Structures are given as structure tokens and as C-alpha cells.
Amino acid sequence: MVNFPKPLLLDTPFEKWEWDDVPKYRREQVRHWIFEKGFLQWDKMSNIPKNLKSDLAKKVDLAPMEPVKVQGSTDTTQKILWKLRDNQFIESVLIRATEGTKGVRASRLTLCVSTQVGCALGCKFCASGLDGLKRNLTTGEIVGQVLMARNEAGRRIDNLVFMGMGEPLANLPALLPALDTILSPQGLGIGARHITLSTSGLVPKILELANFPAQIRLAISLHGGDDETRSKIMPINKRYPMTELLGACEKFIGQRKKMITLEYILIKGVNDDLKQAELLAEHAQRLNAKVNLIPYNRVDGLDWERPEKEQINAFYKTVEREKAPRVTLRMEKGHDIDAACGQLRLKEIKSQ
């Protein structure tokens, strides 16, 4: 059991902090410093009385992590390696939409958020799962990650994708309250349709999430058109095979009336044959889902490779020809910055 020096930022939603007899306008001033101005040091809040600041500082730690490495460029993609209070590492990625990206404003900023330290699900192509799950992030660490990444970026974050380290749906007890603060106009004020949760296919949790009131988006990491292919790279498929997964997606869509996305990482010789493209299009049609194709980013220590350009294009064209409702090909940014999930953390752990 880890003993943190203080309670962490916003493990309790801001509105429910112990305000005792603090006047409403003072609470609003504190809220403004944190969420509007992004000040995460109590002593910098110049209009707050000293005794109130020191009282709140005892209760709430505003900076549950520190950036130890930032790689990449402020024009495109930056990866941040954070050190948590118990000396564990997690990663976040800031992704800027580049000029000319179809239908996307040039200035859009997306943050890829981690929800766990490591991951228990052991997808064979992923660096995050290589040394297993260390622990879940707390609500405060999830909110803190967004606030601190916003400060690193020096601007508003437009979109959040929970596709960083860890399986978000395996940490719903911490994630859902974090989403309350992220969504709240009194908190980070990021709209539900700008938030995507990605899952490797935890069927019962998909069904649980269907009841979450806000209209957040769901992405399924499919990475295979049939059980045989998917099971080769995603052990979770043995627990929740495709029939169950697709059934849960149907129920989710039926309840939410929202389009979901099928993410598909293309790995050479593993899941990139055109039969898989046909099956993928079939699933997308059945679910009326978008398809997002992502050519694989190499991970040190793993043998998987990105398919040749011609194969990537042929796969894309087949999914399109087979009438998937919408298909995009996302060329992963940041080959040079260990952009695949978990790589930077793994390097840091190995170097210690």
C-alpha cells in the first residue's frame, strides 16, 4: 500500500471539498485560479488569505506528479513522462492537428491520457503491458494529468482520448468521478463529445458505461476481424470473444444512439490480410461504426512490424470498398519520440 504525503488533487470533486464556512466568493476565487488560470501552487493565489491557503494546502495537493521528460515538437506531437509521488511513471501525449488534415481545424489539440500505471491486459504489441499492472491511477491523478498537461501545452485542450497507458474501463471507479470534474463547466469544461474512452473489450464494463449520463464517445480496440486473429495479439479476446464484444457494442449503441469507433492497428503478417479487411468492414456495417486504421509503431524489444505502404493502402481500400460507413487511415505521429503507448516509460524504468 502506497502512502502519499497528502491527499491528492480533486480525489473529491471540487464542489464537495470541505469548505466549512468559507464564503462562496472565496471558493469561486480558488476555482478560478485552478481551473481557469491553471495555477497549481497555493502560494501563487494572491487574492486568497494566507490562513485559508495553508488550510486547503493541508487537504489538497495541487500537483500530484512532475514532468521528468518532454519529447517531441510543439508543432506536432509531444510526449510527457510524469513521475508520480510514489516514483511510478506514466505518459501523456499532446497531439496537434497538422495543417491540411481533412475536416480538422489546424489548431486543435488532443491529449492522450493514461488511467493506470502499466496494464494487466498484455496485448502482445504494446509496451504498456510488458511489465504488467502496477496500480490504478486515482481520480486526482487523472484530473491532475489533464491540468498539468494543459499547463505544459500553454493552451486549452480541445479533445481528450483515454488511450494512453492502461485499460480505462478497468479503472472506472476512479475514472468516472474524474470525468465529472473534466466535464463540469466549474471544472475543466471539456464537452462530452470531445472525450473518447478506448477499451480493449471489457464486455461487462462496456455495458456499465452505457449507463453513464454524459454522451462521451467509445472506441473499441478491435485489431482483428475474427477470433483467431484477435486472440493471437489480444489475450482479452479469450475471455470476451468477438460475438460477446460485438453484442455488447450493439447494446451500447442501442442505449446511447451514438456512433462508436473501431480502432485497428495494422501489423505486418499478423492482421493485415485482406480477408481481415472484409471482416472488419462487415463488423463496421453491422454496428454502423467508424473505422480508424493505424499502421503499427515499432516497440523496442517486440518483433512486430508495420506493413508496407502498398499493403496498408490495399487494406484501407478494401474496407472502403466493402462499404464500412466511414474509414480513416491515421498515420501515427511521432515515430521519433517513442510515441507508441508505454515506450518512454519503459525506457526510463530500464535506465534506472
Q: Which residues are catalytic, by number?
A: 91, 341
Rounded CA-CA distance 329/315 in Å is 10
Compute the least distance from the CB of residue 114 to ligand SF4, in Å.
Answer: 9
- Of 14 and 89, the one with the shorter C-beta distance to ligand SF4 is 89
Amino acid at 116: Q
Contact 109, 155 (CB under 8 A): yes
Compute the least distance from the CB of residue 197 to ligand SF4, in Å.
Answer: 12
- Of 125 and 316, the one with the shorter C-beta distance to ligand SF4 is 125
Count CB neighbours of 18 within 10 A. 10
Q: In the complex, which residues of this chain contact ligand SF4 (CB under 6 A)?
A: 119, 121-123, 126, 128-129, 165-167, 200, 341
Compute the least distance from the CB of residue 255 to ligand SF4, in Å.
Answer: 23
Compute the least distance from the CB of residue 327 to ligand SF4, in Å.
Answer: 21
Rounded CA-CA distance 293/129 in Å is 21
- Of 121 and 242, the one with the shorter C-beta distance to ligand SF4 is 121
- Of 62 and 169, the one with the shorter C-beta distance to ligand SF4 is 169
Helices 274-287 and 242-256: angle between axes, nearest 10 degrees: 30
Amino acid at 98: T
Listing from the earlier edge strand, what are the strands of the sheet with 195-199?
65-72, 77-84, 89-96, 109-112, 159-162, 195-199, 217-221, 261-266, 290-295, 326-329
Provide DSSP, 49-93: -HHHHHHHHHH-BS-SEEEEEEEE-TTSEEEEEEEETTS-EEEEE
- Of 96 and 230, the one with the shorter C-beta distance to ligand SF4 is 230
Compute the least distance from the CB of residue 265 to ligand SF4, in Å.
Answer: 9
Three-state SS letters, 291-309: EEEEECCCCCCCCCCCCCH
- Of 114 and 159, the one with the shorter C-beta distance to ligand SF4 is 114
Q: Which residues of 31-64 are buried (b: 16+ CB within 10 A; e: fewer)?
A: eebbbeeebbebeebeebeeebbeebeeebbbeb
Compute the least distance from the CB of residue 235 to ligand SF4, in Å.
Answer: 9
